[in-house]
Amino acid sequence: MRLNHVNLAVTDVEPAKSFLMTYFGLRDLGGGNKNMAFLQDDEGLVLSMFKGKDIAYPATFHIGFIQASEAAVDDINARMKADGIDVAAPERSHGWTFYVRAPGGFLVEVLC
């Protein structure tokens, strides 16, 4: 069985939606507004986001985007830096990886 739907509570829907579309290629499914959005990836995963207050994810909670190569991880990292996002360089950990706090308040890992 494949996981095909995830819902995130976010502090600000539009910037979170834009971030995921810009850097990870998610597509807007429509039907949203300033308080909710519905995105889909190339494999059919639907990611919904709803505006919330007092959001508190556990410290280790994150979503991840696994890339095919270290070069792809480096490219996403460089694009984020060029766009003014405060992101650390990738490092060798459990893979070639970096984490970034997305607009809306959730943590994203990019790795290969």
56 with 101: CB under 8 angstroms?
no
Domain that holds residue 11: 5-51+62-111
CA proximity to 85, closest of 7, 18, 9: 18
Q: Establish if 28 belongs to a structural domain.
A: yes
- Total count of domains within the chain: 1
Q: Establish if 86 belongs to a structural domain.
A: yes
Q: Establish if 57 belongs to a structural domain.
A: no
* Digitized pLDDT (tens) for each residue of the chain, 112 residues in all: 989 999 999 999 999 999 999 999 999 999 989 999 999 999 999 999 999 998 999 999 999 999 999 999 999 999 999 999 999 999 999 999 999 999 999 999 999 9
Chain-centre distance of CA 97, in angstroms?
Answer: 14
Q: Establish if 18 belongs to a structural domain.
A: yes
CA–CA distance, 75 with 98 (Å, rounded to integer) = 12
**Res 70: pLDDT:** 98
**Res 65: pLDDT:** 97
| Structure tokens given for 81 | 């830096």
- Considering the entire predicted model, what is its pTM? 0.94
**Res 6: pLDDT:** 95
| Structure tokens given for 55 | 């959001």
CATH number, position 83: 3.10.180.10
Q: Establish if 56 belongs to a structural domain.
A: no
